[in-house]
Amino acid sequence: MDCLSVSTRFRIHGVLVLLAALACLAAAPILARELQSATQERGKRMSVTKEVFGTAQDGSPIERFTLQNSTMLVRAMTLGATLTAVETPDRRGHRENVTLYLETADEYIKGHPCFGSVCGRYANRIAGGRFVLDGVEYRLARNNGPNHLHGGIEGFHKKNWIGETVEGEGYVGVKLALQSPDGDENYPGTLNVTVTYRLTRDNRLEMEYDATTDKPTVVNLTNHAYWNLAGAGDGDVLKHTLWLNADRYLPVDATLIPLGPAVSVEGTPFDFRKEKAIGCDIDLTDGGYDHCFVLNRDSEGDLELCAVLRDPSSGRVMKVFTTQPGVQVYTANGLDGRLGAAEKSYPKHGAVCLETQHFPDSPNRPEYPGTVLRPGERYHERTVHEFLVE
């Protein structure tokens, strides 16, 4: 016979049910927190995808890679190792592409002013299209008046690179590779180049450049992105503010070749040591900025703050860090509204380029930081763009 009465058993059952219910109530906040944490973690997940964007003139596929985190989207294609999108939110959370771009591969093939492309083998200008290396004179294409610009007629911005996705702790990216043969645009040596774009979880776009050669040559690589933090095609950037970590700049002649040593920015329109609107002194220049600024550096080769660009209207801020010795500031003086995308045109001063690099005409200027790369050496530079909202 059962020692417990029926009523006693019902009371015990009731207590057990009550305890179970209390346990569920106690666990509910924990489960909610775990669910919220899992949702946030999913939001932080990053992705990188690949698609065919078009066909290059040699018949090879032009691939486009899309990098995403929870906030930003970056696109890069193999043609020219070109950034075609950097989408980032404004202070209201509205995301816009803040780098100038074209909509189709055919438009890029037709020609453009290096929108987002990698320039090389030598970015910027070489005076007279010539230089002497180890007693040998090399004559290059004169594709910018009397001078050589951005690697020549078929520079790196016109080559179809080979891309592969990369992923790591806290980032997704694409690694783009190119082999420039000996004699390419009359440069000596076979140059093997890689450019890696990484989008990090904390909204940093990292650019890493590597190169090796089998003969002495000259190398200067940069990305030629055109930035408008209000959004591509949203007017000019004259009200954007700019700060530069530069006490000196390189004055230039009428063909934009440096005249000689760097000079102080003090008392000139080139003084951005205190943040000011890009349009503040632009009328005191010859049509706009297209000048190399000598960066203040604590130590050679370290990643240091170079520039801060702000758009007051959107609240977007871009900080630029680099290992390079200089930055070419170009205020898109050559744009005239004929190019554009998404039914928007790109006007004069419709963007600003902050091209981190070595100095123009360095192969002919032994007093400038060297750009000669020899067998057994490694060319290695980094630039990082950090995107914020205020």
Helix, strand and coil in the chain, % to nearest 5: 15, 40, 45
**13 counts as catalytic:** no
Detail the DSSP E strand segments found in 38-143.
47-55, 61-68, 73-77, 82-89, 95-97, 118-119, 125-126, 130-133, 136-139
Residue whose tokens read 């964007």:
53
Give yes or no for a contact between 89 and 97, defined as CB atoms under 8 angstroms apart. Answer: no
Contact 300, 316 (CB under 8 A): no
SS3 255: coil
In this structure, are residues 226 and 351 in contact, taking their beta carbons and an 8 Å threshold?
yes
Count CA atoms within 13 Å of residue 322 on its CB side. 26
The closest alpha carbon to 304, from 388, 370, 386, 197, belongs to: 386
**Does 224 participate in catalysis according to the annotation?**
yes
Expressed in angstroms, the distance from the first to the final Cα of the chain is 78
Q: Which of 157, 224, 240, 385 is catalytic?
A: 224
Whether the Cβ atoms of residue 312 and residue 340 lie closer than 8 Å to each other: no
Q: Which of 63, 87, 206, 355 is catalytic?
A: 355
d(CA 179, CA 175): 14
Torsion of CA 263, 220, 139, 262, to 10 degrees: 0
- The vertex-302 CA angle with 300 and 306, nearest 5°, equals 95
Catalytic residues: 224, 355
